[in-house]
Structure 1
């Protein structure tokens, strides 16, 4: 007799407290339900149910076995779901959210490349730095840059987000180049309004360094912060995923290269591993592979640029 069906019958009877109601829900006879219950009891070697003329209740052994039986059915359903999807092409709408700067610099291109592989997938990408309620806003996937994760969501690491202190050549020509972190106190600095507070934090040679500064310009958007630094507003700390073109073109100059700012994680956040749409599962796998490695691809590109002999201010 099919043990998986026998376990399913046991769970239904336990939930409903009635062989007759379980038989109706499972569309089988009461006699067949009884046979399946006997089979699962024989398999587990224990009496699972007390049967009376009016009601069925769990024995101690039945109460102990019920959670594991539910888990077994969940695993079986998930395997069936996965097996059925292997032969299907991902399709449908995926709602994705991330920070505007990461969308512009990295994620949009990745999503377009994913759609080239799977043209039946439709993507709706919303941007913003605020924390999104995935349930209320019906979001399938959030790509967030943070070290503070919501325990109610599943998080899959994609890459590390490193930052770099930088300024425009015009600003440095007018105000000078800081040679040590303490010199940042006398410079104009720009910052993300919801970011690091009135200080910069670095690690240098294994030592933690914190420098208090005064902000000359605040913004809640990384793209605006970049534009302010490019315009000569002051020294700013920007994510390396967003700086490649500016550094290669000489529009921005990296500062204090031996001072490493705090590193954040880039994570794919979603609500559940169970019964994920095929398109979502494949997209998360795609992003994890695209951004994989000890160093993110944009950091490797910057390292190659630096090793080509470009000068770095403050070195």
Structure 2
């Protein structure tokens, strides 16, 4: 018997399992809204395809043949597997449920993402979240991540990208540090100041500034190098020098007057700014759990979030 023949009689196999478990054609028919004759024909067709008798019929009862017992055992497994498959599929439609894996840069996760994720968990009680907080690029497909947040001006091809919010690096200093020191009116003025760099790449101590068509690059130096934006902000607040941090990290310190922004009409041009994009694999059938989180984050963070 060919495998294709089995696939063509799956309905008949289900009918046989129902009859064997119910003990009669009429009982199986009543349970599933069919006539006894229709159920009998399904079982007869299965026997014909298999080339073996599965049931011994009498006026009073049905008895399974030896082949029927074996087929029933395997048939139950197939029916259970089909039911489990349907349940898996149901997890991808309807009510959001299941686990969603999302990755984000450290400072962004702490300063921006934390509250929207907590509110999402309260809103969708059947969804679990696994947040990976990493500053390295994450390969969503290879690492099994559903959603990736990346700060970039150039979203990777092959992924759907939703723009959540612009991210700009701000040049900051504390009022105490600036007191009695030369003013910072142009990028070149930074050469006379202690500047807090990231120290991840050789060019991190060469700061490139853009204003309209003007581009200025200056070599800077300072006493403290740290590749953590929140720690860099703390050093700026402590008066150790001037430093650039993302606007979402600087927000509270600026509002409280602990720091002031320098060169506001210039753009600090480096790869740690751009737009915070929500990246995910293109699919016509995005799971409800993933779609629900996408919609939630876009509503919370991205008033102009559009696919690109």
Question: Given the two structures, how large is their TM-score scaled by the length of structure 1?
Answer: 0.62
Instruction: Tell whether the 8 Å contact from 1:100 to 1:223 is kept in structure 2 after alignment.
Output: no
Q: Name the residue aligned to 2:51.
A: none
Q: Name the residue aligned to 1:260.
A: 267
Q: Name the residue aligned to 2:137.
A: 131
- Please give the per-residue CA displacement for 1:232-266, whole angstroms capped at 9, x wherever unaligned: 22111111111111001111111111112235121
Instruction: Tell whether the 8 Å contact from 2:198 to 2:226 is kept in structure 1 after alignment.
Output: yes
Q: Name the residue aligned to 1:106.
A: 112
Q: Name the residue aligned to 2:244.
A: 237
Q: Name the residue aligned to 1:161.
A: 167
Q: Identify unmatched segments of 5+ residues in structure 2.
A: 11-88
Q: Aligned runs of 1:92-103 on 2, under 5 Å?
A: 92-103=98-109
Quick check: 1:90 aligned with 2:96? Answer: yes
Quick check: 1:246 aligned with 2:253? Answer: yes
Instruction: Tell whether the 8 Å contact from 2:195 to 2:223 is kept in structure 1 after alignment.
Output: yes
Q: 1:294 to 1:140 in 2, by over 3 A?
A: closer
CA distance in 1, matches of 2:284, 2:199: 37
**Residue 174 of structure 1, CA deviation:** 5.0
Quick check: 1:179 aligned with 2:185? Answer: yes
**Residue 102 of structure 1, CA deviation:** 0.7
Q: Name the residue aligned to 1:276.
A: 286
SS in 1 for 2:224: strand
Question: Given the two structures, how large is their TM-score scaled by the length of structure 2?
Answer: 0.63
SS in 2 for 1:96: strand
Instruction: Tell whether the 8 Å contact from 1:97 to 1:141 is kept in structure 2 after alignment.
Output: yes
CA distance in 2, matches of 1:211, 1:21: 75
Quick check: 1:151 aligned with 2:167? Answer: no
When the two chains are superposed, the root-mean-square deviation of aligned CA atoms in Å is 3.0
**Residue 134 of structure 1, CA deviation:** 3.0
Quick check: 1:286 aligned with 2:267? Answer: no
Instruction: Tell whether the 8 Å contact from 1:189 to 1:235 is kept in structure 2 after alignment.
Output: yes
Quick check: 1:200 aligned with 2:207? Answer: yes
Q: How many residues align?
A: 223
Q: Identify unmatched segments of 5+ residues in structure 1.
A: 1-19, 30-80, 296-315
Q: Name the residue aligned to 1:227.
A: 234
CA distance in 2, matches of 1:260, 1:294: 22
Q: Aligned runs of 1:15-54 on 2, under 5 Å?
A: 23-24=4-5, 26-27=7-8
Quick check: 1:117 aligned with 2:123? Answer: yes
The runs of 4+ residues in structure 1 deviating greater than 6 Å are: none
Q: 1:207 to 1:25 in 2, by over 3 A?
A: farther
Q: 1:172 to 1:28 in 2, by over 3 A?
A: same
